């Protein structure tokens, strides 16, 4: 066989190996997708989506399938499926043409539209549920390390936004209830969950990235954040709250908490 003939045969063999690689990867995808569709538990569903994402990240040698979606698409499908396991249809992933899309809508909240993003100012590397119109990150979800938390600033900003100001107390309660339900669902698969300001009695301790700040600075930061981020949202919805300063306890109410005095301090 000539040198040219040997090279041609070698190229054909390489091509066959690449086709075999792609065919196996496609078969794996079909298997994982079938498991996802048939899954009946939280653990099965999360595991199937994790496998789909890893398969999605694998490289096809000769072709890219027409059904190739980005990773956030599969997290969106997971979100919808988890609720439907509990026979809850809070979220829809259908667009205006009733086609499956890479977005989430909540029935009764026409002004809100969500999608998952990996591009965020937050420091984690997972997926962030972002409100499309306001570009606010509300929730972090990492299915590989089983971690979920509410972005307190994002949620407070949503409630105080031009869209959020049109929400009633019932709307806010419904919205927060949806995320609390998600936390319970993920908890069944041993996720580490932090609902932050959505969770009454939340006593999680978060470290400061810079610990050598003067006491007066940290005091002012705490009071300002507490007043203008949280109290504006919850002041009309609660009767009392408790603040702990080291060993001292302050129990107060919206009427007793004078924001004007704090501004003058």
- Helix, strand, coil shares of the chain as percentages rounded to 5? 45, 15, 35
Helical ranges in 165-228 per DSSP H: 169-187, 215-225
DSSP 99: -
Going by C-alpha positions, the residue among 122, 124, 74 that lies closest to residue 100 is 74
pLDDT band at 86 (very low <50, low <70, confident <90, very high): very high
Residues 6+ away with beta carbon under 8 Å from 116: 72, 75, 76, 79, 102, 127, 128, 129, 130, 141
What is the pLDDT of the chain when averaged over all its residues? 76
pTM over the 0.85 mark: no
**Given this model, what pLDDT does residue 217 score?**
47
- Structure-token match 């041993």, residue found: 190
C-beta of residue 181 within 8 angstroms of C-beta of residue 88: yes
* Six-digit token string for 100: 């499956």
Sign for the pseudo-dihedral over CA of 207, 193, 75, 177: negative
What one-character-per-residue DSSP string does 17-54 give? Answer: HHHHHHHHHHHHHHHHHHHHHH--SHHHHHHHHHHHHH
Q: Angle 233-237-239 (CA atoms, 0-180°, nearest 5)? A: 120
In angstroms, rounded to a whole number, what is the distance separating the alpha carbons of residues 129 and 145?
A: 17
Determine what percent of the chain is predicted with pLDDT higher than 70: 65
In angstroms, rounded to a whole number, what is the distance separating the alpha carbons of residues 153 and 137?
A: 9
170-196 residue pLDDT tens: 998 899 899 999 999 999 999 998 887
110-129 residue pLDDT tens: 889 999 988 766 556 689 99
Mean pLDDT on 81-101: 85
Sign for the pseudo-dihedral over CA of 51, 52, 54, 60: positive
194-253 residue pLDDT tens: 887 676 554 454 444 455 555 554 554 455 455 444 444 444 444 454 544 444 444 444
* Six-digit token string for 26: 């496609």
C-beta of residue 8 within 8 angstroms of C-beta of residue 16: no
Residue 265 has pLDDT above 60, yes or no: no
Using alpha carbons, list the distances in angstroms from residue 157 to 92, 93, 136, 213, 228: 23, 24, 8, 26, 10
Going by C-alpha positions, the residue among 71, 65, 90, 70 that lies closest to residue 80 is 90
């Amino acid at each position: 066989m000539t040198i040219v003939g040997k090279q041609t045969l070698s190229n054909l063999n390489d091509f066959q190996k690449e086709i075999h690689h792609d065919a196996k990867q496609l078969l794996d995808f079909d298997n994982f997708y079938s498991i996802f569709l048939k899954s009946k538990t939280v653990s099965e569903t999360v595991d199937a989506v994790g496998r789909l994402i890893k398969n999605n990240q694998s490289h096809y040698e000769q072709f890219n399938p027409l059904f190739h979606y980005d990773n956030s698409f599969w997290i969106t499908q997971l979100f919808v499926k988890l609720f439907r396991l509990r026979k809850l249809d809070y979220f829809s992933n259908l667009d205006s043409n009733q086609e499956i899309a890479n977005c989430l809508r909540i029935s009764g909240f026409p002004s809100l539209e969500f999608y998952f993003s990996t591009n965020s100012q937050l420091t984690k590397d997972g997926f962030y549920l972002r409100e499309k119109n306001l570009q606010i990150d509300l929730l972090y979800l990492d299915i590989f390390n089983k971690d979920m938390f509410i972005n307190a600033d994002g949620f407070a900003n949503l409630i105080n936004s031009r869209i959020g100001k049109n929400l009633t107390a019932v709307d806010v309660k419904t919205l927060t209830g949806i995320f609390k339900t998600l936390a319970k669902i993920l908890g069944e698969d041993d996720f580490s969950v932090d609902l932050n300001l959505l969770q009454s009695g939340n006593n999680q301790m978060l470290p400061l990235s810079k610990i050598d700040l003067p006491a007066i600075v940290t005091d002012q930061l705490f009071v300002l954040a507490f007043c203008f981020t949280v109290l504006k949202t919850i002041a009309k919805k609660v009767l009392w709250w408790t603040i702990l300063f080291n060993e001292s306890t302050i129990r107060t109410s919206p009427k007793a908490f004078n924001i004007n005095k704090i501004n003058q301090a």
